[in-house]
Structure 1
Amino acid sequence: MRKAIALGLDPITAIQMGSINTAEWFGLDRRGYGALAPGFRADILVLDDLNTFRVQRVFVEGRLVAEEGRLLVNVPPAPSTLPPSVHINWDAFPGFDIPAPAGHSTARVIEVIEGQIVTGERFMPARIENNRALADPTRDMLKLAVVERHHGTGNVGVAFVTGFGLQRGALASSVAHDSHNIIVVGTNDDDMLAAVRAIETLGGGQVAVADGELLAALPLPIAGLMSDRPLEEVAAQDEAIHHAARALGCRLSSPFMALSFLALPVIPKLKLTDKGLVDVERFDFVEIWVD
C-alpha cells in the first residue's frame, strides 16, 4: 500500500485493490472478508492517515488485539508435532571440493542480479590450486553449495556464484525454494562447513559465519522454515544476520532472499540443486567447466 501510494496511486484505489478486489477474486467475500459492511467480519485497521499507512490499532472480529505496535492478547503456542528436519549424513558428506581436471580453467558461474530471482550465466577463469578450484573473493567468484537435509542422502551440489560480494566468511539458509535443502555461499570451505553445522545445531535457520565463528543466527526450528518466537525477536534476529552479511562485504540488499532462490530450478538461467548445476532453459544438468 505504502509503495503504491508513494508511486502516485490514489489511496482509495490502493485500499480497494488490497481488500475487496482481492477478496472477490479469491471468493473470500462470501466468507465475510474484504470490506467493512453488515455481514462482514469486523477485521479492522485504524490508520494515522492515508499516506503513511501507519497502523494505530488492529481489531480482529471486533476485538482490539494490537495498538501502537504492541500485541494486547496472549497467543498460546501451537503444540509442535513436527520431528527434526535437518538430517545430514556426515559419513557420506563429500565436502565442497571442485576438482579442476587438467586443461580446464574456465568455469560456468551463476550470476546473481540485484532485486531479481532470475540469474545470469557468466564464464570466468577459476582460481586453481593443486588441481582444485577455489573461491576467489577478490573477483567476487564465490562457492555455492546445496546440502540435502531431509533424508540424509549425502548429496551435495557445488558450483560458483558471483554477485554477493562477500570478502570473507559464509552465509547459509535452510530456506531454499522449493526443496528447502541447506544452501550456503562462502569465500572458503571451512566457513561454509561451519555454517552448515550451525544450521544443523539450530534445527534450521539462517546464519552468518566468519573464521569458524557464528556471527549471527535466525533460528527456524519449525521444519527449518518458520520461527516460534515473537515477532519483535525474529525481526531483531533478521536484522542481525543482515548486518553481519553487510559486515562480511555482501552488497546485496536482501542476501538471504537471493540465496534462497538460487536452488529453484524452474526459474532461468542457472540454478543449483543437491544433484548439480541446472541450466533451466535447457532443463538439464550442465558441467561447471566449459573448456
Structure 2
Amino acid sequence: MNELKNLIKLSLNEIKPDLVLKRGNIINVFTNEIIKCDVAIDNGIIVGLGNYQGEKEIDMNNKYIVPGFIDSHLHIESTMLTPGEFCKAVLPRGTTTVIADPHEIANICGLDGINYMLEESKSLPMDIFYMLPSCVPCTDFESSGAILKAKDLQSLINKNMILGLGEMMNYPGVISRNDEVLEKLKLTRDNDKIIDGHGPHIKDKELNAYIISGVSTEHECATIEEMIERLRLGMYVMIREGSAAKNLKDLIKGVNKDNIYRCLLCSDDKHPQEIINKGHINHSVKLAINEGVDPIDAIKMVTINAATCYKLKNKGAIAPGYDADLLIIDNLNDFNIEKVYKRGVLVGEGNKPLFNYKSNNSYENSVINTVNIRDIKKEDLEIEVTNDEVNVIKVMPHSLETRKVIRKIKTKDNKFVFDKNMDIIKMVVIERHNKSNNMGLALVENFGLKNGAIASTIAHDSHNLIVIGDNDEDIICAIEEVKRCEGGIAISSNKKILASLQLEIAGLMSSESIEFVSFKLEKMMSIAYDNLNINREIDPFMTLSFMALPVIGDLKLTDKGLFDVREFNFIDINNK
C-alpha cells in the first residue's frame, strides 16, 4: 500500500523523482505523436510525463526520446560472443531488450548449454529473455550433441527469463501430429507461454494446422505473399535483417498502416563486425526509414509491437508505469543514438558501454572441450559417382536458401575430380560430438572459392564440423586446425593455415571481446575474398554455417548425407 501511495505522490510531483529528462521530444507509440514534455523517472520506472521537477534534472535540448529497442528474435551464439560481450556491443546501440533462442548451444550441450546462457545473462544491465529450444536435435536427419524432450524443458518453462518455446522448425512433425513435438507444444500452451514459428513454404490448410497448434510468430518469410498470408491468419511476422539473410528491403513493401501492428523487426543471426560497422536492430530501423516507412512506425516495430507480441507489459513505450528504457536521438532521419538509459541509468553513450560486467558462471566447464572428431584421411573425402551428371547445391546470394541444380562434372575412375575451370567444389560435414563415422559429402556451386578451404564448427543447427574447399589437402589442413583450436573457424591454402579464430565455448563463442573477435573476422573476411576469391555476394562464414541446415530449402548437407528439403528426405548425389 505504501509503495502505491508513493508512486501516486511521485506522479503528482508532490515528491521529487530521482531523475527528470527535461524538454524532450517524446515519441508516443500509442498515438503516433511527438509530444514536447519532461519524462519523470524514479527507481527505474517512468512515473509521469509533463512538467516535472526532480532530484536530478537533465536538459534534453529538444532531442528525441525513444523507447528502448527490442530485438524480437536472435541467437546470441551467432554473434560468436558471450552474453556479456554481446550486451556491451548492442546495448549502447539502442537494444535494451532481446528475445533469444539458445538452440545453437543447446544442440551441443543440452540443458547445460541453456543454463550457461541463463546464468551469464542474469547480472547484465539489459533484459535478455529466452525461448526454450524446440528442436534439439533439429531433425532426425543430422546428429546433434544432445536430445531435449518436453520432460527436460519442464524444469525451465516457468523461470522468469523464459517466455516460451523457440522456433518450431519441425513443422512436418506438427502437421503429422508427432507425439514428441505435440508434448512440447502442450507444455508451452498449458503454461500460457509464446510459441515461435519457423515454417517457410507451408501454406493453405497446413499453415492453418501449424497455427492452431499454438504457433504465433514467423521470421522465415521470403516473399510479401508469404508475409501477407501469415498476417491474415493472425500471426506476428518478424522482418529479418541479419548477416546472411537480408529480407527487409523485399518485405517492408508489404507493410502498411493496417497491418503494421503485427509486424516486428529482428536480426536473427548477425556477426560482430556487422554490429560494429552497421549497428544491431537500430540498423533495421534505419533501413526501414530509408525504404519509406514513417519513422514512428519503424520505431513501433521494435518497441510496442514486440512488447505486445511477447506479453512484456512494462516495455516498449514511454508512459507512466513503463520501464525507463530510453534512447536519446538527434533526429529521426539519420537516427544517431547518442545516449542509452536502462531503467533510468545511463549505460551507453556514443556506441560505447558505460558499464562493466564479470563472468561468474558455474556451467562454463560443461560448455568447453566439445569438439570430438575422428581422424580424416584423403580417401575419406572421395565422392563416388555413377555418371557425370550429379545433384549440386547452388548457393543463393543474401539468402539462407539454396537451389538444387543438375550439373555435368569431371570424373576419373568413377570419382569426382576438381576442375579449376568450373565453379563446383567439395563440401564435407563431419559429426563432431561423439567421434562417430558419420560424414556427408556434396558438391557446391556459386561459392566461388579457389585455392583453399574453410572449416567451421558453426553449422546450424547441430553444429557439426563443416568444410568447403577446392582440394582435399587444404580441406584436411583446415580440419586439423579447427581440432587444435577446440572449435572455431580456419582458412587454409597451399596446405598452410592463413588464419583461424578460436571459439572455445561450445565451438560457437569466444570469451574474447567484440573488438578482438570483430578484428579477427574482418581479417579473415578479407582473406576469404582476396586470397580464396569467394563470391562477394555472400558472407563466406555465415553462408557456410547454414549449408547444413535441413529445414530451409532446397538442398543441404548433413553428416548423414545430401538432404532434399522440399521432399524432406535424403537423395543420392547421382542424378538418377
Q: Normalised by the size of structure 2, how large is the TM-score?
A: 0.48
2:357 to 44, 54, 75: 75
In structure 2, C-alpha distance between the alignment counterparts of 1:14 and 1:120, rounded to whole Å: 33
Aligned pair 1:37/2:322, yes or no? no
Secondary structure at 1:90's aligned position in 2?
coil
Measured after TM superposition, the shift of residue 72 of structure 1 is 2.2
Aligned residue in 2 for 1:194: 477
Aligned residue in 2 for 1:15: 299
Residues 393 and 402 in structure 2, CA contact (< 8 A), matched pair in contact too? yes
2:495 to 212, 215, 233: 212
In structure 1, C-alpha distance between the alignment counterparts of 2:311 and 2:404, rounded to whole Å: 42
Residues 488 and 507 in structure 2, CA contact (< 8 A), matched pair in contact too? yes
Aligned residue in 1 for 2:410: 127
Measured after TM superposition, the shift of residue 113 of structure 1 is 0.7
Aligned residue in 1 for 2:380: 95
User: Which one-letter code corresponds to 2:405 in the other structure?
Assistant: R
In structure 1, C-alpha distance between the alignment counterparts of 2:437 and 2:378, rounded to whole Å: 5
User: Which one-letter code corresponds to 2:290 in the other structure?
Assistant: A
Secondary structure at 1:138's aligned position in 2?
coil
Secondary structure at 2:333's aligned position in 1?
coil
Q: Deviations over 1:233-253 (max 9, x none)?
A: 222122122111101111133
2:341 to 59, 70, 75: 59
2:550 to 247, 250, 265: 265
Measured after TM superposition, the shift of residue 185 of structure 1 is 0.8
Aligned pairs (5 A) from 1:83-232: 83-90=368-375, 95-101=380-386, 104-232=387-515
Residues 429 and 558 in structure 2, CA contact (< 8 A), matched pair in contact too? yes
Measured after TM superposition, the shift of residue 94 of structure 1 is 6.5
Aligned residue in 2 for 1:243: 526
In structure 2, C-alpha distance between the alignment counterparts of 1:44 and 1:26, rounded to whole Å: 19
Measured after TM superposition, the shift of residue 201 of structure 1 is 1.8
Measured after TM superposition, the shift of residue 111 of structure 1 is 0.6
Larger Rg: 2
Aligned pair 1:286/2:571, yes or no? yes
Moved segments of 4+, more than 4 Å: 91-94
In structure 2, C-alpha distance between the alignment counterparts of 1:120 and 1:23, rounded to whole Å: 36
Residues 385 and 573 in structure 2, CA contact (< 8 A), matched pair in contact too? no
- Residues 119 and 91 of structure 1, relative CA distance in 2, 3 Å threshold: closer
Q: Deviations over 1:218-247 (max 9, x none)?
A: 322211122222122222122122111101
Gapped runs of 5+ residues in structure 2?
1-284
In structure 1, C-alpha distance between the alignment counterparts of 2:291 and 2:406, rounded to whole Å: 38
Larger displacement relative to structure 2 (50-59 or 128-137): 128-137
In structure 1, C-alpha distance between the alignment counterparts of 2:376 and 2:471, rounded to whole Å: 21
Q: Answer 1 or 2: which has greater helix percent.
A: 2
In structure 2, C-alpha distance between the alignment counterparts of 1:140 and 1:180, rounded to whole Å: 26
Measured after TM superposition, the shift of residue 92 of structure 1 is 9.2
In structure 1, C-alpha distance between the alignment counterparts of 2:360 and 2:527, rounded to whole Å: 31
In structure 2, C-alpha distance between the alignment counterparts of 1:288 and 1:78, rounded to whole Å: 48
In structure 1, C-alpha distance between the alignment counterparts of 2:390 and 2:466, rounded to whole Å: 20
Residues 206 and 241 in structure 1, CA contact (< 8 A), matched pair in contact too? no
User: Which one-letter code corresponds to 1:206 in the other structure?
Assistant: I
Aligned pair 1:2/2:293, yes or no? no
Aligned residue in 1 for 2:151: none
Q: How many residues align?
A: 287
Measured after TM superposition, the shift of residue 91 of structure 1 is 7.5
In structure 1, C-alpha distance between the alignment counterparts of 2:318 and 2:499, rounded to whole Å: 43
Residues 368 and 504 in structure 2, CA contact (< 8 A), matched pair in contact too? no
In structure 1, C-alpha distance between the alignment counterparts of 2:321 and 2:418, rounded to whole Å: 61
Q: Deviations over 1:87-120 (max 9, x none)?
A: 112279963111244xx22221001111112211
- Residues 198 and 54 of structure 1, relative CA distance in 2, 3 Å threshold: farther
Secondary structure at 1:122's aligned position in 2?
strand
Aligned residue in 1 for 2:559: 274
Measured after TM superposition, the shift of residue 181 of structure 1 is 0.7
Residues 84 and 223 in structure 1, CA contact (< 8 A), matched pair in contact too? yes
User: Which one-letter code corresponds to 2:341 in the other structure?
Assistant: F
- Residues 2 and 264 of structure 1, relative CA distance in 2, 3 Å threshold: same
Residues 392 and 445 in structure 2, CA contact (< 8 A), matched pair in contact too? yes
In structure 1, C-alpha distance between the alignment counterparts of 2:517 and 2:329, rounded to whole Å: 24
- Residues 164 and 42 of structure 1, relative CA distance in 2, 3 Å threshold: same
Larger displacement relative to structure 2 (33-42 or 245-254): 33-42
- Residues 131 and 202 of structure 1, relative CA distance in 2, 3 Å threshold: same
Larger displacement relative to structure 2 (39-48 or 86-95): 86-95
In structure 2, C-alpha distance between the alignment counterparts of 1:58 and 1:137, rounded to whole Å: 52
User: Which one-letter code corresponds to 1:243 in the other structure?
Assistant: S
Gapped runs of 5+ residues in structure 1?
none
Percent of counterpart pairs with the same letter? Answer: 39
Q: Deviations over 1:47-101 (max 9, x none)?
A: 2322222222222222222222222221112432323111112279963111244
In structure 2, C-alpha distance between the alignment counterparts of 1:95 and 1:51, rounded to whole Å: 56
Q: Normalised by the size of structure 1, how large is the TM-score?
A: 0.92
